[in-house]
Structure 1
């Protein structure tokens, strides 16, 4: 049975920070694979600035081609929206229960608001959570400190955001070094975020 880490996000666009975190998780924890779960609509974000699902999937696909332990996933595309993590986890367990053991990957900042997620108690009861650090003023406080299902992985701190990339690209700045080359090419050819 494989240990699969689920890295949820809109990936609008996927950038090198996402890849560094995912690769670090798969190389320096007990995860065998990381699946990038492209979310059509997060309950916490508006859909206005999102590219179509298939374009975001294509960019993730392009980004992970050379990384056999990283996979794109469009599992949420056919689930009810907005997408709630618990619903996706239940669906994945029903579909892949014999082959995979699923865990969540999230930033330390998301852990702080995790208690607001739908059925967060059920998630904590049934799934492990791998947390990567974010820059903050001192140690980030959260109510899940020391929880046995939560494992903090000392991954590199990445302060790159898709929002920043979109905004700067639109302003005519060169954001190419922040993106995998194949993602940059796709984004440029399709004239996205201008």
Structure 2
């Protein structure tokens, strides 16, 4: 996140993740979870079976940072079960997850032979 904030100083930078990672961060399973939450903004995609508001309410780290601007919760009936791990696994298995990524991201991964 620091890299992108430095690279794009005039832009708002968001950490995009699934609600499963929100749970992990709230339970401090990530190194420097508290700093990560205090210094960044997040877009969180719904996952089946995870109540994002309850996750935030249960975690002091998340609850204390919930100022109405830090977490942008995307639920709208859509639960994204496709994760970054799934996309990496597709590349490793020789799959073509082109439809899951922006074209520029797909091209970068393909050109640089990432995850193979």
TM-score, structure 1 as length reference: 0.36
> RCO (CA 8 Å, sep 6+): is it higher in 1 or 2?
1
User: Quick check: 1:106 aligned with 2:106?
Assistant: no
Aligned to 2:80: 158
Aligned to 1:78: none
Q: Please list every run of 5 or more consecutive structure 1 residues that lacks an aligned counterpart in the other structure.
A: 1-7, 9-32, 46-81, 93-102, 134-153
SS in 2 for 1:106: strand
Q: Which moved more, 1:169-178 or 1:107-116?
A: 107-116
- CA RMSD in angstroms comes to 3.5
| 1:44 partnered with 2:22 | no
Task: Map 1:19-98; keep pairs closer than 5 Å.
Answer: 35-37=13-15, 43-44=28-29, 82-84=31-33, 86-88=34-36, 90-91=38-39
Structure with greater Cα Rg: 1
| Richer in helix (by share) | 2
Q: How many residues align?
A: 92
For residues 88 and 167 of structure 1, the distance between their equivalents in structure 2, rounded to whole angstroms, comes to 26
Q: Which has the higher strand share?
A: 1
Unaligned ranges ≥5, structure 2: 2-10, 17-24
